[in-house]
A and B are shown apart, each in its own frame.
Chain A
Amino acid sequence: DADVTQTPRNRITKTGKRIMLECSQTKGHDRMYWYRQDPGLGLQLIYYSFDVKDINKGEISDGYSVSRQAQAKFSLSLESAIPNQTALYFCATSDSTRGYGYTFGSGTRLTVV
Chain B
Amino acid sequence: QQQVKQSPQSLIVQKGGISIINCAYENTAFDYFPWYQQFPGKGPALLIAIRPDVSEKKEGRFTISFNKSAKQFSLHIMDSQPGDSATYFCAASPTGRRALTFGSGTRLQVQP
Task: Identify the A interface with B (CB < 8 A).
Answer: 4, 33, 35, 40-45, 48, 50, 56, 58, 90, 92, 100-102, 104-107
Contact = CB atoms under 8 A, between A and B. Distances in A.
Interface of B: 6, 9, 32, 34, 36, 41-46, 49, 89, 91, 93, 97, 99-105
A44 B105 CA distance: 11
Given A42-B6, A43-B89, A102 B102 contact: no
Which one of A33, A42, A48, A107 has the highest number of Cβ atoms from chain B below 10 Å of its Cβ?
A: A42
B43 A106 contact: yes
A104 B46 CA distance: 9
B104 A104 contact: no
A50 B91 CA distance: 19
Majority SS at the chain A contact face:
strand
A90 B34 contact: no
A90 B43 CA distance: 7
Contacts of A35: 102
Contacts of A104: 43-45
B98 to A, nearest CB: 9
A102 B46 contact: yes
Nearest to A39: B105
